[in-house]
Structure 1
Amino acid sequence: MAQVKTVVRRLKTPEHYHFTRTLRTLLVVSHDPCGELADGEFRLSARTPQGPGTLHLSRAGAELTATTHGPGADWLAEHADAIAGLRDDLGDFPGLAAAHPLIARLARTFSGLRFPATFQVFPRLIRAVLEQKVTGIEAHRAYRAMVKHFGEPAPGPGGLLLPPDPEAVAATAYWVFHPFGVEQRRTQALLRCAAEAARLERCTDSAEATRRLVAIPGIGPWTAAETVRTAYGDADAVSVGDFHIPNTVAWALAGEARGTDARMLELLEPFAGHRGRVCELLAAGGIMAPKFGPRMPIRSFARF
């Protein structure tokens, strides 16, 4: 059996760095076939430009050890600090946050929260498309089923699966996705994204990726923002069109129980450059607008 390539890199973390809060955004909750996070240990599989690989981050005090495996080991080692959120620069955010008492408090409480940047567009785009207009439970169930269907073992220990190969996804008939709980509209968006995946992965920054994403039928501002926030660590990406976030922002920043996308963007404007960071801090602090009416029902498209 051929030996799997392994690379090790040591990384220093900033003061108060929060390992779990920073990295858990990269995984689907409960169980992600492509990664795991527990007790100061994080693993993530990836299809890098150099081939498949697995990243293992372990924390000991103020240091992270990044161990990478597979043909993509060098690429993952080079980008390990970005994936861990260590390239996230708060810049002028502390000064902007100080102007609002709630945001100032959240910024102090969650000062160790950083934005990871994976430089991998398609894996996060899969999740974002599956999360369109359905509950998280439905979306995550569909994601796990899809990964297992296209599953290929990731290099190294851990038993992870690689994210679906976009070429394999693009070549799959739409009806194959139905048992995963994904209706034709989202499936067609996925297939279009898979066909454009190579071009998307060549985008140099968040702005270029967003332009290319929203040009794909079935991909709007919400899906693009959810994708680039993780792929590029874009702390300004706001999920316009979200069911909850406009209300949360309106309640937190203006005491208004309900808000529109326009009102949300108006209230976030003083935090330009860090608007997504503000939304993330509100979520981390458990800030929510008052709830009225029934919850969105959980459905099973696979039974339709």
Structure 2
Amino acid sequence: MTRVTRTRRLSLPDGYHFRATLRSLLVVRYDPCGTLTDTDFWLSARTPEGPGSLHLARAGAELTATGHGPGADWLVDRADAFAGLRDDVSDFPALAAAHPLVARLARTFPGVRYPASGQVFHRLIRAILEQKVTGIEAHRAYRSMMKHFGEPAPGPAELLLPPDPEAVAATPYWTFHPFGVEQRRTQALLRAALVAARLERCVDSAEATRRLTAVPGIGPWTAAEVVRTAFGDADAVSVGDFHIPNTVAWGLAGEARGTDARMLELLEPFRGHRGRVCDLLAMGGISAPKFGPRMPIRSFAKF
């Protein structure tokens, strides 16, 4: 049996939303590295102190964090960050008041917080796989990759550990083809794996963004997707997204289509929380009118 090194109890703020806060740490529906219900969350991780798994259990206004394996202390020490309790929203209501829709959404979803996992490479894998494909394709590739590289994680939840970057870096690109990942994304994954140790040592979102975007194949969109979850950066905007500029333009200005430049212009009054505004629009079901065909779901493994 894996030794549990420590248990920690945390108090939750009024209205805290457990599931909506933690869901960004996992691939929806099924993730070999974690599980989530309304009251329980499990996540495996490769920490600086070794492999481990974290269990967060909610009971009313209290959260119990339990760590398993060599990385347990590191995970339990960061349990409040994983749970989004380090996310400072104290100045957001005043900013949100500048726009009636944003103000209403802020009142509707006050308990959703930004987790800060401190896990850069694991989140980067997902972000690279999500480049320029549908969510279904990306999540299918992610699950296949986790199962291929995964090792059993400590703890009773029967999770797999995220891939070891060294193992990924040493893998020929054609191994990823059956996962449904073409050469372009595979090369970005391999480059990222080579510098994964340096990425994990980044002290904040700004440093991580600089280092990430210096890697060929990783642009502002991918970097923002990573730092929003790994560092809890509520200001990170996914520039280059297919849908978000239109959503922001429609929600904030009633314009059916928007560019990245227009999106950033409309989000500027919310600086410090620009990514939070984008997420609130999504949570509120705000979407621009749709024109034209949907992006097809493809299978690169069959090419």
- Give the deviation of 1:39 after TM superposition: 3.1
Equivalent position amino acid for 1:165 in 2: D
Q: Is the 8 A contact 1:5 1:71 kept in 2?
A: no
Q: Is the 8 A contact 1:251 1:288 kept in 2?
A: yes
Query: Residue 285 of structure 1 aligns with which residue?
Result: 284
Q: Is the 8 A contact 2:84 2:115 kept in 1?
A: yes
- In structure 1, what is the Cα distance between the partners aligned to 2:159 and 2:138? 20
Secondary structure of residue in 1 paired with 2:184: helix
Q: Is the 8 A contact 1:250 1:259 kept in 2?
A: yes
- Give the deviation of 1:3 after TM superposition: 4.5
- In structure 1, what is the Cα distance between the partners aligned to 2:96 and 2:124? 30
- The more displaced of 238-247 and 92-101 is 92-101
Secondary structure of residue in 1 paired with 2:133: coil
Residue 170 (structure 1) aligned with residue 166 (structure 2): no
Query: Residue 191 of structure 1 aligns with which residue?
Result: 190
Equivalent position amino acid for 2:48 in 1: P
Q: Give unpaired runs (5+ residues) of structure 1.
A: none
Question: 1:171/1:254 Cα in 2 relative to 1: closer, same or farther (>3 Å)?
Answer: same
Query: Residue 253 of structure 2 aligns with which residue?
Result: 254
Query: Residue 22 of structure 1 aligns with which residue?
Result: 21
- Give the deviation of 1:5 after TM superposition: 3.2
Q: Over residues 231-250 of structure 1, what are the superposed CA-to-partner deviations in whole Å (9 max), with x where a residue is unaligned?
A: 00000000000000000000
Equivalent position amino acid for 1:67 in 2: T
Q: Is the 8 A contact 2:18 2:38 kept in 1?
A: no
Q: CA RMSD in A?
A: 0.7
What TM-score do the two structures reach when normalised by structure 2?
0.99
Q: Is the 8 A contact 1:118 1:230 kept in 2?
A: yes
Residue 9 (structure 1) aligned with residue 8 (structure 2): yes
- Give the deviation of 1:214 after TM superposition: 0.4
Q: Is the 8 A contact 1:116 1:230 kept in 2?
A: yes
Secondary structure of residue in 1 paired with 2:78: helix
Write out aligned runs for 1:30-69 (5 A). 30-69=29-68
Q: Over residues 130-160 of structure 1, what are the superposed CA-to-partner deviations in whole Å (9 max), with x where a residue is unaligned?
A: 0000000000000000000001000011110
Q: Is the 8 A contact 2:2 2:154 kept in 1?
A: no
Q: Is the 8 A contact 2:134 2:297 kept in 1?
A: yes
Secondary structure of residue in 2 paired with 1:230: helix
- In structure 1, what is the Cα distance between the partners aligned to 2:237 and 2:287? 17
- In structure 1, what is the Cα distance between the partners aligned to 2:26 and 2:83? 13
Query: Residue 94 of structure 2 aligns with which residue?
Result: 95
Q: Is the 8 A contact 1:45 1:160 kept in 2?
A: yes
Residue 234 (structure 1) aligned with residue 233 (structure 2): yes
- In structure 1, what is the Cα distance between the partners aligned to 2:2 and 2:91? 46
Query: Residue 212 of structure 2 aligns with which residue?
Result: 213
Q: Is the 8 A contact 1:153 1:159 kept in 2?
A: yes
Q: Over residues 13-70 of structure 1, what are the superposed CA-to-partner deviations in whole Å (9 max), with x where a residue is unaligned?
A: 1110000100011110110000000131100000000000000001011100001100
Query: Residue 153 of structure 1 aligns with which residue?
Result: 152
Q: Is the 8 A contact 2:117 2:230 kept in 1?
A: yes
Residue 181 (structure 1) aligned with residue 180 (structure 2): yes
- Give the deviation of 1:92 after TM superposition: 1.4
Report the count of equivalent residues. Answer: 303
Q: Give unpaired runs (5+ residues) of structure 2.
A: none
Question: 1:11/1:3 Cα in 2 relative to 1: closer, same or farther (>3 Å)?
Answer: same
